[in-house]
Homo-oligomer: A and B are copies of this chain.
Amino acid sequence: MTERVPQQERSRITREGLLRAAVDVLAEQGWSAATVATVAARAGVSRGAAQHHFPTREALVTATLEQIFADLTEVASSATATATATGEGDRVAAVVHRAVGIYTGKEFKAALQVWAAAASDPALRELILPLEAKFARAAHRMTVEALGHSDDQAHIHRIAQLTLDLARGLGLADTLSDDSTRRAQVVATYIDLVRSALGE
């Protein structure tokens, strides 16, 4: 008897393949290339099948951004576990490195393309702002948890925001050329500042 993949399962696999292909196309070829047809070709899926999942470019791009944010939240979540498992001294370093990791990968480069396009497209902006806000809240919450408790919890909240803002800036500096050497120094300086601020 031949093993058959149920229809529902095949549909899920096709959808995931399209979303992965969309991340690759956005990160490597940019916004203008990221059409349903190009992404379908990259995923090895027929245009008709792709349009069944994503009738419009907006539907594809929105779902891709949701997938990116879900993936990044998972990365941040495992970072929280790692940071919590390590000693007090390494905790700040672990939190900062993971925040920077979120914004220096392929996913951020893909999201940046959508971001830039949305800056001049009000309809796209309305679609992605809630996704962006949800992700920002999740990233902030996990960074706060990973930094641990303090007598001044509001201070921890602000340090978490600062960390994510710095990470975003470092991510942007990495989009046109490999900035990893310079970034390592900046990150080390920042870790020292945060350790002092937290009295560690």
Whether the Cβ atoms of B169 and A165 lie closer than 8 Å is: yes
Please give the distance in Å from A103's CB to the nearest CB on chain B: 8
CB neighbours (8 Å) of A118 from chain B are 176
Check A189 for interface membership: any CB of B closer than 8 A: yes
Contact with B along A157-187 (1 / 0, CB 8 A): 0110110111111111101110000100110
Check A42 for interface membership: any CB of B closer than 8 A: no
Whether the Cβ atoms of A161 and B175 lie closer than 8 Å is: no
Check A120 for interface membership: any CB of B closer than 8 A: yes
Docked CA distance A190–B190 (Å): 10
Whether the Cβ atoms of A166 and B162 lie closer than 8 Å is: yes
CB neighbours (8 Å) of A190 from chain B are 162
Check A16 for interface membership: any CB of B closer than 8 A: no
Check A28 for interface membership: any CB of B closer than 8 A: yes
Whether the Cβ atoms of B30 and A176 lie closer than 8 Å is: no
Please give the distance in Å from A22's CB to the nearest CB on chain B: 14
Whether the Cβ atoms of B116 and A30 lie closer than 8 Å is: yes
Please give the distance in Å from A151's CB to the nearest CB on chain B: 16
Check A197 for interface membership: any CB of B closer than 8 A: yes
Docked CA distance A107–B31 (Å): 21
Which of A53-61, A79-87, A121-129 interfaces with chain B? A121-129
CB neighbours (8 Å) of A164 from chain B are 169
CB-defined A-B contacts under 8 Å, sample of 19: A29-B120, A30-B120, A31-B116, A112-B116, A115-B116, A119-B176, A125-B176, A129-B177, A155-B189, A159-B189, A161-B185, A162-B190, A165-B170, A165-B173, A167-B169, A168-B172, A168-B173, A193-B197, A196-B197
Complex A-B, nearest 7 residue pairs according to Cβ-Cβ distance, in ascending order: A169-B169, A30-B120, A116-B116, A168-B169, A158-B189, A165-B169, A193-B193
